[in-house]
Structure 1
Amino acid sequence: MSNPSNRLETRYKQAAVNPEVSAFSQLAQRLLIGFGQAMWYLRPLPDFLIIGAQKAGTSSLYKYLLQHPSVLPAYQKEIHYFTIPDLYFKGERWYRGHFPTNLARGQRLTGEASPSYLFFPLVPQRVYQMMPQVKLIVLLRDPVARAFSNYHHQVRRGLETLSFEEAIAQESNRLGNDLQKTVDNPRFHSLNLAHFSYLLRGDYITQLKRWRQFFPAEQMLILKSENFYERPQEIVSEVVTFLGLPSWQPNPAIFKQYNPGDYNKMPPSLRENLSYHFQPANKALYEFLGRDLGWQ
Structure 2
Amino acid sequence: MSGSLYNDNFYDKQCQESFESALIVLTKLRELLAENIELSSVVDFGCGVGSWLAAAKQVSFETVLGTDGDYVSRDKLMISKHEFIANDLSKPSSIALPLVKCDLAITLEVAEHLPEDAADDFVTKITSMSDLILFSAAIPYQGGHGHVNENWLEYWEDKFKSNGYVAVDLLRPTLWNNKKVCWWYRQNLIVFIKTDKLSCLPTGTPINLPLSIIHPEQYLLAVHREKTSRNFSLKQDISYLSAFNDKDEVEPQSYGKEYSYTETESKVIDTIEDLEAYAEQEGDAVLLDALAPIKHQSFDLKAFKASIRPSHNSPDFLCVGAQKSGTTWLYEVLKQQKGIWMPPLKELNFFNQLTFKSDSAYSGVWRREAALKRLHQATKNPKVDEKWLDFLFHLCKKKVDLDWYSDIFKKCPNGKLSGEITPEYMMLPVEGVRAIKALNPNVKIIFILRHPLERIKSHLKMIKGRCPNISDSLLVSLAQNESVLFRSSEYDKLVRNWLTVFDREQLFISDYDSLNKAPCDFFNELKRFLDVNLINDIPIFNRRIHVSSHNSEHFPINLEKLDEQYQLVNSWQKVDFDFVG
TM-score of Structure 1 vs Structure 2, range by shorter chain? 0.5 to 0.7
Distance 1:82 1:22 in 2: 34
The residue type equivalent to 2:517 in the other structure is E
2:561 aligns to what? 273
The aligned counterpart of 1:113 is 421
Q: For 1:86-125, what aligned pairs fall within 5 Å after superposition? A: 90-101=400-411, 104-121=412-429, 122-125=431-434
Where does residue 231 of structure 1 map in the other structure? 518
Match among 67, 74, 79 for residue 336 of structure 2: 67
The answer for unaligned runs of 5 or more in structure 2 is 1-232, 238-308, 359-364, 366-397
Q: Distance in 1 between matches of 2:311 and 2:438?
A: 20
Equivalent in the alignment of 1:152: 461
Specify the alignment match of 1:29 in structure 2. Answer: none
**Cα drift, residue 220 of structure 1:** 0.6
- C-alpha distance after superposition, 1:234-272 (max 9, x if no partner): 2122112110102x4421633111211122335487132
Q: In the aligned structure 1, how far is the partner of 2:528 from the partner of 2:406?
A: 25
Q: Offset of 1:48 from its aligned partner? A: 0.6
2:545 corresponds in structure 1 to 258
Q: 1:257, 1:289 → 2: CA distance?
A: 26
Tell me the alpha carbon deviations over residues 107-134 of structure 1, each in whole angstroms, 9 at most, x when there is no partner: 1111111010001324312212222211
Counterpart position of 2:532? 245
Write out aligned runs for 1:2-17 (5 A). Answer: none
Query: What is the count of residue pairs matched by the alignment?
Result: 233
* Structure 1: distance between partners of 2:407 and 2:545: 26
- Cα distance in 2 for partners of 1:259, 1:281 equals 24
Task: Name which one, 1 or 2, has greater alpha-carbon Rg.
Answer: 2
1 CA distance for matches of 2:425 and 2:461? Answer: 21
- TM-score computed with the length of structure 2 as normaliser: 0.36
Could you list the runs of 4 or more consecutive aligned residues of structure 1 that deviate by over 6 angstroms after TM superposition? 40-43, 86-89, 290-294
Q: Find 2:440's aligned residue among 117, 127, 131.
A: 131
The residue that corresponds to 1:202 in the other structure is 488
Moved more, 235-244 or 109-118: 235-244
Shift of 1:100: 4.2
Give the Cα–Cα distance (whole angstroms) in 2 for the partners of residues 22 and 124 of structure 1: 40
The gaps in structure 1 that reach 5 residues or longer are 1-18, 24-39, 176-196
Q: Which amino acid aligns with 1:131?
A: N
- Structure 1 pair 261–290 and aligned structure 2 pair: CA distance change class (3 A): closer
> Which structure carries more relative contact order (alpha carbon 8 Å, separation 6+)?
1
Q: SS where residue 427 of structure 2 aligns?
A: coil
Q: Which amino acid aligns with 2:346?
A: K
CA separation in 2, counterparts of 1:291 and 1:110? 22
- Alpha-carbon distance between aligned partners in 1 of 2:424 and 2:311, rounded to the nearest angstrom: 27
From the superposition, tell whether residues 164 and 42 of structure 1 become closer, same or farther in structure 2 (CA, over 3 Å): farther
What's the secondary structure of 2:484's corresponding residue? coil
Identity %: 24
Give the alignment's TM-score, normalised by structure 1: 0.68
**Structure 1 pair 267–155 and aligned structure 2 pair: CA distance change class (3 A):** closer
Partner Cα separation in structure 2 for residue 106 and residue 292 of structure 1: 30
Task: Name the counterpart of 2:349.
Answer: 80
Note the alpha carbon deviations across 1:156-210, whole angstroms, 9 max, x for none.
444x9644553443566x65xxxxxxxxxxxxxxxxxxxxx22111021121111
The amino acid of 1:96's aligned partner reads S
Amino acid at match of 1:166: L
